[in-house]
Every structure is written in C-alpha cells, then in structure tokens.
Amino acid sequence: MKTALITGGAGGIGEAICRRLASDGYHIIINYAHSKDKAEAIASETGGEALCFDVSDEEQVSAAIASIGSIDLLINNAGISEIGLFTGISNLKARNILDINLRGTMNCARAVLPAMIRAKSGNIINISSMWGQCGASCEVDYSASKAGVIGFTKALAKEVAPSGIRVNCVSPGFIMTEMNSRFSADDLELIKQDIPLGIFGKPRHIADAVAFLASDKSEYITGQILAVNGGMVI
C-alpha cells in the first residue's frame, strides 16, 4: 500500500484530499499543527494516522518525516492567508505567511526527497493559488508566497525528473472553506460574479485534481500548474 503525507490535512481542502486519497487506496498521514481532534477523527475513519508538526520548523519537519518511513506521495497543502494593505501587515504576520506557505512547502519536500531519490520514484503535489498566478491586491504577501510555490514546483520538477520523481502544482480558485469564512454575504455575491462557471469551488474539486496528478493517468506530466478555478483566472 502506498503512503501519502498531506500537510494541513485537517483543513477544508486537506480533509477532502485525505478522504479522496484514502478511498483511492493510500495509507494517509494527516499532518496538523493545531487541529488534533479533527485530524484524529479523519485518521480513525480512514485507517490513517494523525501527525503533529509545524511545516515552517525544519527540525520538526525532518523528525516527523523520519518517523514515518517511506512516503510515496507528498501533498504540500498547509497554508495561511491574511487580508490587508501590504504596508499594514505586521512583519511577524508577513514572515509567517512566507514561512508556512513557501518555506513550509520546501521544508517538507527537502525532507522526503532523499528517500524518493534513492527509490527512484515519488510524487510531490504543491497547492498554490490563483493569486500566485495573477496577484491579488490586499493579499500581496500571500500572492508572493504562492507565486514562489509555482516557481519552486517548476524548478524542482526539472531537478528531480531524472530520478523518476514528478512535481506538480494545483492552483485553486475560490474554494468554500474556513479560509474564506471572513467574507460577508455581499462580498461573496460580488466574488461569484467574477467566476465564469458561476459557482464557488468545493474542496472535492481540488481533491479530484490532486487524485489525477497522484495517479498513473498523469504519469507523463511534471512541472505543471493545474488551475481549478471555474475560469476565474485563465
């Protein structure tokens, strides 16, 4: 049975990815930083395991990943966002966004890769954002972190392809999760008008894209950014 590690696996999108990969036959490791109860509930329902570590802390990441054994599939999904003017975001918040969204993604990849390279096989899927593709006013630090995830995906894909490892990215649009709970009903109506397909994304839409990139159906695809956004960014 193949093993998949999903960072932020107890969040809105993370949970959908965990459940989808478990139903596709993976043994899943559900990483969390704070959501212990939810991660353990998903683990007990799917036969997986919950594992606490902070993706932005290199030492925690390498100790946790060493404790797992072999990992066939890494999903770098953990992320935070913050809305506000670029000049109004505190240095601490700005640093956290980069540390979790970009450095966290790189930390986890760096920790799983030596074993994947030895095995000459592996698959890494990074979760970016449409704002990493086109930039969002009032989410400048977030957009920069997610653009970094796209650049990281492309560069790493080239470096590890000769070792039989694929690296791809899923770039979600507006997906209904806790991350978007701050928007008012009026805001949501305005946002919906910018989505050509006319509906908000659901976590399962991202899980479906991840499942495709995790499967052999995408065996000739690497270094790509798969946008799942209802046409909001084309």
Structure tokens at 124: 């890494």
Binding to ligand NAP (CB under 6 A) within 161-220 occurs at 172, 174-175, 177-180
Q: Which is nearer to ligand NAP, 181 or 219 (CB)?
A: 181
Q: Which is nearer to ligand NAP, 93 or 118 (CB)?
A: 93
Residue from 56, 123, 168, 222 in contact with ligand NAP (CB under 6 A)? 56
Residue from 55, 75, 102, 112 in contact with ligand NAP (CB under 6 A)? 55
Note whether 41 and 19 are within 8 A (CB).
no
Q: Is 230 in the site for ligand NAP (CB under 6 A)?
A: no
The label of the residue with tokens 């399962």 reads 204
Q: Is 222 in the site for ligand NAP (CB under 6 A)?
A: no
Residue from 129, 133, 153, 218 in contact with ligand NAP (CB under 6 A)? 129
Note whether 3 and 30 are within 8 A (CB).
no
CA distance 86 to 89: 6
Residue from 3, 4, 6, 11 in contact with ligand NAP (CB under 6 A)? 11
Distances (CA, A) of 5 to 60, 78, 148, 196: 15, 11, 21, 33
Instruction: Give the shortest CB-31-to-ligand NAP separation in angstroms.
Output: 6
CA distance 142 to 132: 8
Q: What's the gap between Cα 15 and its chain centre?
A: 11
Binding site for ligand NAP (CB under 6 A): 7-8, 10-14, 31-35, 54-56, 77-81, 100, 127, 129, 172, 174-175, 177-180
